[in-house]
Amino acid sequence: MKLSIITVNLNNAEGLRKTIESVVSQTFTDFEYIIIDGGSTDGSVDIIKQYADRITYWVSEPDKGIYNAMNKGILQAKGEYCQFLNSGDFLYSNKVLNDVFYPNFTEDIITGDMLKLFPDNITKLDKGQAYARLQKGQNLTLYDMFYGTINHSSSFIKRELFNKYGLYDENYKIVSDWIFFLKTIGFAGIEVKYVNIVISCFDMSGISNTNLALRNRERKIALEKIVPKQILSDYNYFKELEQQYQTFDYILKYKITRIIVKAINKMIKNF
């Protein structure tokens, strides 16, 4: 089996239905579908039962958080790759999986574009760090994972990586997928394949996007635990230099723009 799609849910019946429908409508069929529900009381279980014949495995019981739920899904997964599509998120089209897996890539992680869905129907396409590096003809580095990441819902992760590097760390609320990518891509240098395909639509109202203070605090704690002090010190220094450069570059561009505008205005007046 090529793929295990894992959806975790807690009291998000409307979002869950949207997620399920995007999965069961795929033209690609070499996948299993796993739903881990945290004991919802809002009708989510009734929706799961409506699609039970299209779902390989599901359970509804209390869990210890989102990563505990994801880990439950991983332990049930039989596919070569795992994708995590949480309730409220959905696949971009019914041909996405076919477009991704028809070429039969073999890399450890396959990643593509993610469409971010904000309130008031505002959308933003996020092509991720892998795309940015590819444009420069480079591979992802520790620095990319140190301060950035690749998008979780638009990535397909080989199941065997969880055997080798461990499951998601359940001690964190919202950054354990980033920690996993930091370890596997940043430190271990596993192979990542970027595909120029919009894979998923991501609900930006989740806790990882609305509670940036918690995310930054958890990242800081994780970096101090995982990254050797000498490397952490160097990278913080490099980051400060980068920020200073960006500030200088912005100021320089701003001043040059003002000079050009003034010169054009003067020419217009003289004319």
What's the confidence (pLDDT) of residue 261? 45
Over residues 225-234, the pLDDT tens digits come to 888 887 777 7
DSSP3 helix / strand / coil % (the chain, rounded to 5): 50, 20, 30
Q: In a 3-state reduction of DSSP, which class is residue 7?
A: strand
Query: 149 exposed, middle or buried (CB, 10 Å; 0-12, 13-18, 19+)?
Result: buried
Over residues 246-270, the pLDDT tens digits come to 665 555 555 565 565 455 455 544 5
pLDDT reading at 18 higher than 80: yes
- What is the C-alpha end-to-end distance of the chain, expressed in Å? 72
Beta strands in the chain (DSSP E): 3-9, 31-37, 57-60, 81-84, 90-91, 109-118, 122-126, 155-158, 192-203
Compute the mean pLDDT over every residue in the chain, rounded to the nearest whole number: 88
CA 191 vs. chain centroid, Å, equals: 17
Residue identified by tokens 């800081």 is: 220
What's the confidence (pLDDT) of residue 160? 98
pLDDT reading at 126 higher than 50: yes
Class of domain 3-227: alpha beta
Over residues 157-216, the pLDDT tens digits come to 999 999 999 999 999 999 999 999 999 999 999 999 999 999 999 988 765 555 788 988
Q: Are 143 and 234 in contact (CB under 8 A)?
A: no
Cα within 13 Å of Cα(102), Cβ side: 8
Please give the model's pTM, rounded to 2 decimal places. 0.86
The rounded distance, in Å, linking the Cα atoms of 108 and 82 is: 11
Query: 137 exposed, middle or buried (CB, 10 Å; 0-12, 13-18, 19+)?
Result: exposed
What's the confidence (pLDDT) of residue 258? 57
What are the sequence ranges of the domains in the chain?
A: 3-227, 241-271
Cα within 13 Å of Cα(210), Cβ side: 8
DSSP string, 196-244: EEEEEEEETTSHHHH-HHHHHHHHHHHHHHHS-HHHHHHHHHHHHHHHH
